[in-house]
Structure 1
Amino acid sequence: MPRNMTLQYIPHDSTRRDRFKKRLKGLMKKADELAILCDAKTCVLVYEEGKAAPEVFPSHAEAMGILNQFKSLPELGPCKEAMNQEIFITKRIEKLRDQVDKTRRECEDSEIRYLLHKIMHGDPSVLVGLDIEKLTKVGYKVNVFLKSIVERMAKIHSQAPPPAPCVTTGNIDMGSPVLYPTPPQ
């Protein structure tokens, strides 16, 4: 439909009937094309002004069969996946908030790691301007790292084989004398 066309009632009777017939013919053609292209059953009922019987496509008998088949379908009720625009937007906002929170946590974690890196390389001045919340987070991160190191050390020690016992006797065998020539004098 052209953008500059305004929809309004056509006051002249013969013009209105002619346009109705043209548009009805176009509607019936579109319904037929839809049925062919989509392999779907279609029917159209159009009630004309001043007539008791509607215009029916494709035929009265076929339209009645399609309508009866449609009426016999069970009602779906609330589907699990059905959602209106409000629910969709609410879920989308919730998902975006979760992403923002996750990104914020990752940024704070990176910032604290950076501070710890600077401290470990001899620059304790980075702690001077921090508020109590940041200092608490730095302390918490240090505790997490220390706990991780202790756990790793315990795991390494539990996997290492026990050292072989050192047994000494009076004589030390250094191998065959042939392997150790006497130094020249």
Structure 2
Amino acid sequence: MGRQKTKMSYIPNDTTRRRIFLKRKACLLKKASELSLLCDVPACVLVAAPCDHPNPVIWPSALDARTLITRFRDLPTSSSRDKTRALDQEAFLAREIARLKEQLGRVERKNREAEVKAALMRCLQGEVVVGADMVEVGSLAEGKAREVAERVERLNGLVFLREAVAEEVAVAPMTTMNVEEEWMMSGTFSSSYEDLLVLIDQIGS
């Protein structure tokens, strides 16, 4: 048999009403505690007691309830919240518009650079370019010419450095041979050679 649906109306019997009050009050406090704990939100409960209970029921405590009610009272009105929300949305839209404008500018610059490069290539191939800004094409050509000149200059510098190193390597053995020849032609080499022969004779005897 299913549970009978409770009729939502005033309970005239004092004893039954008091019993239902205590039961529902405990359930309400339990649900408030679960809500605050599970959702990590501040909550308080204030229940006026029946006539035979002079003090109202306050959960979790009178101090916590007073603090929470004061915070709720000091919240901005709905008009202030709407105004703040509108300002936030306006600032967000302004930032989005600025970001999109910057992105559009970058895309337009890239497209323009691609058009100018294509026009320059057609000019180099001998075609007649129509509709292009020849000032930009000339500026791009000058820039490319400078890049080529700088690269050629760097390559020339590397070639010069390589040739200089090769010359030093070629000269180094000649210098060594000259030193050896001077040492062999000097008396020091002769005396050292004679001393070596004397030493060999002494060891052999």
With the length of structure 1 as denominator, give the TM-score of the two structures.
0.49
With the length of structure 2 as denominator, give the TM-score of the two structures.
0.45
Compare the two structures and name the one with the higher helix fraction.
2
Larger Rg: 2
